[in-house]
Structure 1
Amino acid sequence: MTAEVGLAGRPPCLTLRKRYLVTWTGISIPGERVMAIDLNSNQGKVSGGILLVKLEVALAGGIGQLAKVEGVYSESVKYADGDWFVLVRTDDGKRLGVIGSGGQAKKFAGEGSLKVKLCPLDTANSAALREVFPWTAPVPVGRKVSFGTGDRLGVATPGHLRAFEGCDVFPVLAQQSMREMGRTGRSARDVIDDAGWGVFEAGYTGTFAADADHIKQEEEVLSCHSLGYTMFTIDASDYIKIDAVHLSDEQAVKKFEELTEAGELKSRYLGREWNFAAGGVGVDITFSPVELARCSLVYLQAVKHMAALYEALRSAVGAAGADSAKYFDFEVSVDETETDTTECDHVFVAEELKRRGVVWQSLAPKFTGQFQKGIDYIGEVAEFERQFARHALIARQLGPYKISVHSGSDKFSIFPLVGKYTGGYFHLKTAGTSWLEAVRVISVRNPALYRLMHSFALERFEQDRASYHVTTDLGKIPALETLSDEQLPGLMDEIDPRQLLHITYGSLLSTTDSGGAYLFRDQIYRTLYNYEEDYYEALRAHIGRHVETLGLSRG
């Protein structure tokens, strides 16, 4: 049996100032106050209120020394088949506390005794956690409204879950791209494991997903699948032949006729009409020879590549056809281009994927305007509304599948439109904004560290901006020496400082000195560990603002 224990009215982490007595199967440890836990009880009840405690004495019977426990995460207390589990804070980071000697407890490796041990949050124990508590493992989203919270540091999940509390949305708590992981020094396994521990810490027993974001190659897809990822966002930008957009009409048609599939494509698209209408929005689509030529030249190879990766996934899970959605979510991304996705482009990609047997849950078009990282939408909102309404209509009636909005952090001016035209049926990806909330906490709690990070970011900016399209003006950022410590957090409310600290996150997390020691990484993690409640609450408020502006209901 598995029982859940909640400590009503307690903060998520309790800093303990007393020593307690823990008793289990006849063994006891003296302390200032008595508390008993009957591990032989089939009811899984706790008497005394708190499960794990601060201990500085050797365990009885020569069992060994239990590390200092600074506090427990009360929401994480769980009971499974005679054993107790709880996430605790120690002076050396978080550990899983295990009390008991049953079959579940034996699955975890750690320091201590057969009866009581502290376990590192490592790969082996992550796998054991998912086995004992299956709700710490991701599952597919399916066709539900969903929200991706890219956690670049691996410590944000409890805060993200607070933002979603009472909200009808499926959280994608593990979401990182290969590029992000390369810059943060984390692995795909780290990302999924960290999310699972965050779920356990928060006491969340609902569902969540893991998104292998912007993956391009079959080996990446299969590797992430083997690790337990449940969503795969396919970035086919290497196969999108955007140069064809710049061909003259005559050149495009001539090049199209050279395709071996030209005859079949003409028979499928020319002379056919697609009509979509709902909610006052109507779209009527026909392909001219030139439009068909351009769509084919730009997207056909990308469609073939996405279909090949889909088949690789199907083979890996042993699933067939329409049942694939039971095993994984497949997102089609065509947003990594220079030009907007037209309605003809959308229909062409969708029809060609369907013809190849691909079942997908979401599609990410390239919209008008600029979706720069960590700031609001830049562009004509009215034109975005026109485009988005039509793409959402096509997705709803040609699928249904979700429209996915990438680089969705802080796009507050268009969020109401996303909610309106999808009927609350969409996927949104965020990532950088959670990192920036971490930077905000650092600016408040460790201003000296923030000043060092800011100065270093200025040095790295020109090099790091190469892979981003941004309009950052460093001249608009106040000189640090003109700002008091109390003014530093306000920088995270301004466009240019936000982009400065966003774009350089990889350098800030990975740069080392001549001796191999990190310049900032360890200090960043230590500050956020010391003030994690501040970080969780910042995420609750900021991601919560996203949720509310999108019009997602709260129960």
Structure 2
Amino acid sequence: MSDGLRLPKFSVGVGDRFAHQAKAQLAACVLAADAGVEVIPVWNKSNREHMIIGSEPSQTRKAADVAVKELGWTKPYFLDADHINLKTVERFLAPCDFFTLDVADLIGQPAKPEAVAAFVKRHPELVGTVTIPHIAEPFKTDETFVTGVANKFLAAVQHAGEIYRLLVEKKGAGNFVPEVSMDETDSPQTPVELLIILAAIADEKIPIQTIAPKFTGRFNKGVDYVGDVAQFTKEFEEDLAAIAFAIRTYGLPENLKLSVHSGSDKFSIYKAIHDGVKKFGAGVHVKTAGTTWLEELIGLAEAGGSGLEIAKEVYADAYAHSEELCAPYATVIDIDPAKLPTPEVVNSWTSEQFTSALRHDQSNKAYNQSFRQLLHVGFKVAAKMGDRYLKALEANEEIVAKNVTTNLFERHIKPVFLGL
């Protein structure tokens, strides 16, 4: 099930909303290679982000290709059609070679009773005592339990199968990497539930190379993990064990690995990810690592002058339209309006005050999580500025790039992949 394009063991999802930082992002992967670990970049940009910015996936592809050429990168790299479905896939077909199959809307929608019954009949190994190596306690299941799990996830997996088959028809088998995302559901899957999902994916003959399950805790945009790290560690390691077992049992691709979604800035769980991956000899895809758009703003603010003015202007506009900007991201942000400084206050700030509030350094007393999250969802404001914003990035390329590269390498790649 694994002929064709293969995603290497370690990969990092990088977003580049304005298609200006591909070289700076790739530079972080070059630093990783110099430090002795191969970390493959996967550029991603969702349909929603393209719609907001008014860009096309072909522009993201062009930026990645140019960066690869300029830096002489000879290892693999990918472009992810992030969270696509049958309605949105068309514009991503030509430029992309990695597809995140978004079936979140169908999780919990009941599958046809006869399809569920056939699944349960086909998988007697999932009923009774299920022993997964490296998980201390065997799982006790019965037909009712397996039927319930299948009923919750089977329709979603079947829809993923539909999208996958369309991609094969349009691009050819083995010409892209498929990921299935199951993280947008109400509660984390247990290892045996993940096993049931993987059995269904194997039945659909989707040769997935990454799967994104749901974990305990909150994965808010651009800020640290909120939750019980010990519980996350347990779930992460049990998922690794379930995947290893499913590869052997169902003939899924041997390089199938976990994908940690909203992976950006989840500093408190990076050690658990590194240790778990090392313990199991497994791979991992951290998506999305390093909030590049915020590093652009930090670079502009650090540059001072007109760069700082633009950063302040973006904040003032985001503050004025916070309700509208936050609405699409309501489930993945936690902003305390009382902690947001007024634009008048921010307009009086120096470069250092602005960057201290925005840069994700929890040891800095001036760091402001609400300020950071509002700006995270405020990229629409910069998009409306059009050429003015892009010209500012180009005028301050060196300082912006330094922030992008340093953030991605020091705060993400080092702790996750090097354990430093």
Using structure 1 for the length normalisation, give the TM-score. Answer: 0.65
Cα separation, partners in 2 of 1:141 and 1:434, compared to 1, 3 Å: farther
Distance in 1, matches of 2:38 and 2:73, equals 14
In the other structure, the counterpart of 2:274 is 419
Higher relative contact order (CA 8 A, sep 6+): 2
- The SS at the match of 2:136 is strand
Distance in 1, matches of 2:17 and 2:68, equals 16
Letter in 2 for 1:522: D
User: Among 330, 339, 351, which residue is 2:178 paired with?
Assistant: 330
Contact 2:117–2:147 (CA under 8 A) maintained in structure 1: no
Distance in 2, matches of 1:526 and 1:480, equals 23
Distance in 2, matches of 1:263 and 1:447, equals 61
Cα distance, 1:464 vs. partner?
1.4
- The 5 A counterparts of 1:458-497 are 458-468=319-329, 469=331, 470-478=333-341, 479-481=345-347, 483-493=349-359, 494-497=368-371
In the other structure, the counterpart of 1:443 is 301
In the other structure, the counterpart of 2:166 is 312
In the other structure, the counterpart of 2:103 is 236
Contact 1:291–1:344 (CA under 8 A) maintained in structure 2: no
Cα distance, 1:289 vs. partner?
3.6
Distance in 2, matches of 1:286 and 1:411, equals 33
User: Among 256, 261, 286, which residue is 1:406 paired with?
Assistant: 261
Contact 1:149–1:171 (CA under 8 A) maintained in structure 2: no
- The SS at the match of 1:335 is coil
Cα distance, 1:283 vs. partner?
5.5
Contact 1:173–1:195 (CA under 8 A) maintained in structure 2: no
Distance in 2, matches of 1:299 and 1:476, equals 40
Cα distance, 1:500 vs. partner?
0.9
User: Among 79, 82, 93, which residue is 1:213 paired with?
Assistant: 82
Contact 2:294–2:375 (CA under 8 A) maintained in structure 1: yes
Q: Where has structure 1 moved over 6 Å in runs of 4 or more?
A: none
Deviations 1:308-352 (A, max 9, x none): 122222233443xxxx3xx21110101112222222321111001
Cα distance, 1:504 vs. partner?
1.5
Distance in 2, matches of 1:436 and 1:213, equals 20
Distance in 2, matches of 1:498 and 1:366, equals 24
In the other structure, the counterpart of 1:375 is 223
Letter in 1 for 2:335: T
User: Among 181, 185, 200, which residue is 2:69 paired with?
Assistant: 200
Structure richer in helix, relative to its length: 2
Deviations 1:187-243 (A, max 9, x none): 1111111211222233333321111111111x6445423x2311111010121126x
User: Among 244, 266, 273, which residue is 2:120 paired with?
Assistant: 266
Distance in 2, matches of 1:553 and 1:231, equals 27
- The 5 A counterparts of 1:102-121 are none
In the other structure, the counterpart of 2:133 is 277
In the other structure, the counterpart of 1:509 is 383
In the other structure, the counterpart of 2:147 is 293
In the other structure, the counterpart of 1:549 is 415
- The SS at the match of 2:148 is helix
Distance in 2, matches of 1:235 and 1:283, equals 32
Distance in 1, matches of 2:38 and 2:128, equals 38
User: Among 273, 292, 301, which residue is 1:434 paired with?
Assistant: 292
Cα distance, 1:405 vs. partner?
0.5
In the other structure, the counterpart of 1:224 is 92
Deviations 1:271-304 (A, max 9, x none): 34432223xx435334334422321221111011
Distance in 2, matches of 1:496 and 1:336, equals 23
Deviations 1:126-179 (A, max 9, x none): xxxxxxxxxxxxx94434211111111101111111111243334334311111
In the other structure, the counterpart of 2:53 is 184
Whose radius of gyration is greater, 1 or 2? 1
Contact 2:81–2:92 (CA under 8 A) maintained in structure 1: yes
Distance in 2, matches of 1:202 and 1:342, equals 43
Letter in 1 for 2:323: E
Cα separation, partners in 2 of 1:241 and 1:407, compared to 1, 3 Å: same
Distance in 1, matches of 2:72 and 2:172, equals 33
User: Among 26, 48, 55, which residue is 1:161 paired with?
Assistant: 26
Unaligned runs of 5+ in 2: 248-253, 360-367
- The 5 A counterparts of 1:322-401 are 324=174, 327-399=175-247, 400=254, 401=256
Contact 1:307–1:358 (CA under 8 A) maintained in structure 2: yes
Distance in 2, matches of 1:316 and 1:418, equals 35
Distance in 2, matches of 1:486 and 1:266, equals 60
Unaligned runs of 5+ in 1: 1-138, 245-255, 511-519
Contact 1:363–1:403 (CA under 8 A) maintained in structure 2: yes
Distance in 2, matches of 1:173 and 1:265, equals 34
In the other structure, the counterpart of 2:400 is 535
Letter in 1 for 2:57: A
Structure richer in strand, relative to its length: 1
Contact 2:300–2:400 (CA under 8 A) maintained in structure 1: no
Cα distance, 1:472 vs. partner?
0.7
- The SS at the match of 1:196 is helix
Contact 1:149–1:160 (CA under 8 A) maintained in structure 2: yes
CA RMSD of aligned residues (A): 2.3
Deviations 1:457-500 (A, max 9, x none): 10111111111121111321333155334311111133111101
Percent of pairs with identical residues:
27
Distance in 1, matches of 2:355 and 2:217, equals 29
Cα separation, partners in 2 of 1:553 and 1:539, compared to 1, 3 Å: same
Cα separation, partners in 2 of 1:504 and 1:393, compared to 1, 3 Å: same
Distance in 2, matches of 1:496 and 1:285, equals 42
Cα distance, 1:431 vs. partner?
6.0
Contact 2:181–2:213 (CA under 8 A) maintained in structure 1: yes
Cα distance, 1:393 vs. partner?
1.2
Cα separation, partners in 2 of 1:526 and 1:317, compared to 1, 3 Å: closer
- The SS at the match of 2:418 is coil
- The SS at the match of 2:267 is coil
Distance in 2, matches of 1:179 and 1:147, equals 21
Distance in 2, matches of 1:175 and 1:553, equals 25
Distance in 1, matches of 2:398 and 2:139, equals 52
- The 5 A counterparts of 1:251-262 are 259-262=113-116
